[in-house]
Amino acid sequence: MIEVANVRLSLDDALAKGEARLARAVAKKLGIAKGMVVKAKLVRKSVDARRKSDVHVVVTAAVELANPADEEALLAQNLPGVKRHVPYAPLAIPTLRLAPDALRPIVVGTGPAGLFCALYLARAGLRPIVAERGADVDERTRIVAAFDAGADLDVATNIQFGEGGAGTFSDGKLTCGVKSPFAPHVLRWFVDAGAPREILVDAKPHIGTDLLRGVVRRLREQIVAAGGEVRFNTTVCDVRFLDGRVCAVAFRGPDGAVSWVDADRVVLACGHSARDTFELLRDRGLRLEPKPFSVGVRIEHAQQAVNEAQYGRAAKHPALGAADYKLAVQVPERAGGRQRGVYTFCMCPGGEVVAATSESGQVVVNGMSRHARDGKNANSALLVGVGPEDFGSDDVLAGVAFQRRIERAAFETARAAGGKAYAAPAQRVGDFLAADADGAHAAASAACSASAASGASAGPSDVPVPTYPRGVAWCDLHDCLPPFVTDALADALPLLERRLRGFADPNAVMTGVETRSSSPVRIVREADLQARVGAFDRSSGLFPCGEGAGYAGGIMSAACDGLRVAEALCASIDAAC
């Protein structure tokens, strides 16, 4: 079979079932008779909306011609976009036979990094023990729904913590920022666990929170079926080393009792919000480094407005789902010549803003959508890059303290503006820019609450109503974000408007604060993917993994890192044998 890229399909053809239209488009692209194409299978699919008057679909197809010699002849011509089709080959997992008394590897966390790592280890025969501080996905869904409805925050089970990790209540976007050889396997394993098959071909695959919850449950069932064990409501609260090698970890179980388990290999896939775990690791002598991340707000627009801005008159075509966007600009810092990157991140078409704090008395926002992406609003993080020089201290966890200050300020600002506990501070773009221009932020608060309140109730259909579940308090975001962040946001908005019409619409809603875009620390690991402890220059048996360790920035990259670490862990056992 050969693979043919850049095959153009009209929107109507893209909707059609069966292979006939694809085969015809491939034949046209290759300049051959339609009858020569026996089979045409979709390999990749994306929407080309660069020209609004010509929105169409571009696909790559795996093609079988009636005569194999014709395939060879085409390959020999070195045509652009034509190559030999290489079918998917499953990931090769070693089979390791451990002595009956050998220690089982411990995996900390059931985010994508922990789940994929544990599944690999289980399939390799290592019977991993997985510890997850939060509840299983069904219990977690109930706890998150109760919090959204006004219950107290459960600090162990919430949007950040619990089975599936931080991305369970997400859009489930599976775009991978980095090229990883593990990416095709992650997508296959997701499909094997019940994700829609279309993620194998979509250029921008996504699962949606409604389907992702079942997928996460099935990944866990596969781990257990392969010999692993998953303990929920179990926090790894201490770790012991002997001469620089891990020898035991402490589990705090559902009843609060602490028990020690002997261990010689531990995968730390604790995510970016495990602040107590970061402190523990620092105190036990692991090398942590502060790293840059980003802070800002969630911005909400009417999804219909985004569809029209991206797809023009084609916006209502059923072949096109809810449109997304990805924007970035650089702005000069007002005080000083430094440039700040301002960008949109984790855009959720047809989604909702979620209440994503994991600590009491703080407000954090993020976004999610269902598979159908059928909500009225589009939301996205709008973030400003920050670095250790902004954190106000040289402490290795200064980034965490910086996040906490902003998250507490958000909670208090919303309360001061009349919001209930865990209401989020929000402001319409028009009010935010007006407040920024006159510098009279405090006075602006009252004005914007008045104008925004009218929009929130029953305005025209393109005036987005905020979706944050605990309610928003209209106030001035300058009161809870550092000035350099609000400066950068205000300077970036008009530039972003030039990239996407309507982005800086005065009615767009900015809800604060988004502070958990990525990890504020890196847990340093060496070439063997293991950390070093204190002054010991030997493999510690501790494998920092995924986003919390600073080696991933999303579901895909975290899952890929999980597989990479699992491979390294198996290699370390092989080497020891």
Decide: is 246 part of the binding site for ligand FAD (CB under 6 A).
no
Stretch that binds ligand FAD, among 192-200, 472-480, 501-509, 550-558 (CB under 6 A): 550-558
CB of 404 to ligand FAD, least distance (A): 17
Contacts of residue 137, Cβ cutoff 8 Å, sequence gap at least 6? 162, 163, 164, 168, 213, 216, 217, 220
Give the CA distances from residue 186 to residues 61, 111, 117, 174, 175, in Å, rounded to whole numbers and listed in that order.
21, 13, 11, 9, 11
C-alpha distance from residue 488 to each of 243, 384, 385, 389, 564 (Å): 48, 7, 10, 16, 37
Q: Measured from the CB of residue 129, what is the shortest distance to ligand FAD in angstroms?
A: 11
- The two structure tokens encoding residue 66: 């009636």
Quick one: which of 410, 542, 552, 573 contacts ligand FAD (CB under 6 A)?
552
Q: Which of 104, 123, 140, 173 binds ligand FAD (CB under 6 A)?
A: 173
Using CA atoms, how far apart are residues 1 and 568, in angstroms rounded to an integer?
34
- CA 433/CA 414 separation, integer angstroms: 19
Nearer of residues 166 and 488 to ligand FAD, judged by Cβ: 166
Tokens of 206: 């996504």
Query: For ligand FAD, which residue of 23, 159, 267, 342 counts as binding (CB under 6 A)?
Result: 159
User: Which residue is associated with the tokens 């502060």?
Assistant: 290
For residue 271, state whether it binds ligand FAD (rule: CB under 6 A): yes
The piece of 61-69, 154-162, 294-302, 567-575 that touches ligand FAD (CB under 6 A) is: 154-162
Query: What is the rounded CA–CA span in Å between residue 490 and residue 438?
Result: 12
**Residue 111, interface with ligand FAD (CB under 6 A)?**
yes
- Nearby residues of 506 by Cβ (< 8 Å), 6 or more positions away: 428, 429, 430, 431, 433
90-98, 161-169, 180-188, 241-249 -> range binding ligand FAD (CB under 6 A): 161-169
Write the Ramachandran bin of 296: left for phi over 0, alpha for psi from -120 to 50, otherwise beta.
left
Of 192, 276, 292, which is closest to residue 237 (Cα–Cα)? Answer: 276
Q: Which of 548, 560, 569, 572 binds ligand FAD (CB under 6 A)?
A: 548
Closer by beta carbon to ligand FAD, 160 or else 344: 160
- To the nearest whole angstrom, how small is the minimum distance from the Cβ of residue 303 to ligand FAD? 16
Q: In 11-36, which positions are buried (b, 16+ CB within 10 angstroms) versus exposed (e)?
A: bebbeeeebebbbebbbebbeeeeeb
Number of residues that make up the chain: 577
Q: Should residue 449 be labelled a site residue for ligand FAD when binding is judged by CB under 6 A?
A: no
Give the binding-site size for ligand FAD (rule: CB under 6 A).
Answer: 44
**170 near ligand FAD, rule: CB under 6 A:** yes
In the complex with ligand FAD, the residue whose CB is nearer, 292 or 506, is: 292
- 104: tokens are 């089982």
Of 417 and 523, CB closest to ligand FAD: 523
Q: Counting contacts by CB under 6 A, is residue 161 touching ligand FAD?
A: yes
Judged by CB under 6 A, which of 22, 219, 354, 488 binds ligand FAD? 354
Minimal distance, residue 561 CB to ligand FAD, in Å: 7
Structure tokens at 303: 């999804």
Angle, helices 183-192/209-225, rounded to nearest 10 degrees? 90
Alpha carbon of residue 239 to chain centroid: 28
Q: Does 277 bind ligand FAD (CB under 6 A)?
A: yes
Cβ distance to ligand FAD smaller for residue 169 or 311: 169
- The answer to whether 514 and 383 have CB atoms below 8 angstroms apart is yes
**Piece in contact with ligand FAD (CB under 6 A), picked from 34-42, 164-172, 183-191, 318-326:** 164-172
Which listed range, 158-166, 193-201, 308-316, 432-440, lies at the site for ligand FAD (CB under 6 A)?
Answer: 158-166
- 2 counts as binding ligand FAD under rule CB under 6 A: no
**Separation between Cα atoms, residue 359 and residue 362, nearest integer Å:** 6
In this structure, the number of other CB atoms found within 10 A of the CB of residue 378 comes to: 29
Nearest CB to ligand FAD, comparing residues 162 and 244: 162
CB atoms within 10 A of CB 81: 12
The secondary element (H helix, E strand) that includes residue 268 is: strand 266-268
User: Tokens 């890929």 map to which residue?
Assistant: 560
Distance CA 44, CA 35 (A): 23
For the CB of residue 267, give the shortest distance to ligand FAD in the complex, in Å: 10
> Which range binds ligand FAD by CB under 6 A, 84-92, 130-138, 285-293, 323-331?
130-138
132 binds ligand FAD (CB under 6 A): yes
Q: Which of 208, 131, 165 is nearest to 552 (CA)?
A: 165
Based on the shown chain and the rule CB under 6 A, indicate whether residue 169 belongs to the binding site for ligand FAD: yes
Binding segment for ligand FAD (CB under 6 A), chosen from 105-113, 306-314, 393-401, 524-532, is 105-113
Q: Under the criterion CB under 6 A, does residue 166 sit at the interface with ligand FAD? A: yes
The yes or no reply on residue 274 touching ligand FAD (CB under 6 A) is yes
Among 233, 357, 366, 515, binds ligand FAD (CB under 6 A): 366
Task: Give me the least distance between CB of 508 and ligand FAD, in Å please.
Answer: 20
Residue closer to ligand FAD, measured from CB, 160 or 307: 160
Residue 58 amino acid letter: V
Best CA proximity match to 41, nearest among 70, 20, 68, 12: 20
Two tokens at 378? 């589009």
Q: Which is nearer to ligand FAD, 109 or 455 (CB)?
A: 109
State the binding string over 21-60 for ligand FAD (x if CB under 6 A, else -): ----------------------------------------
Question: Rounded CA gap, 331 and 283, in Å?
Answer: 38
Q: Which residues bind ligand FAD (CB under 6 A)?
A: 108-114, 131-134, 159-162, 165-167, 169-173, 235-236, 269-271, 274, 277, 346, 354, 356, 366-368, 546-548, 552, 554-556, 558
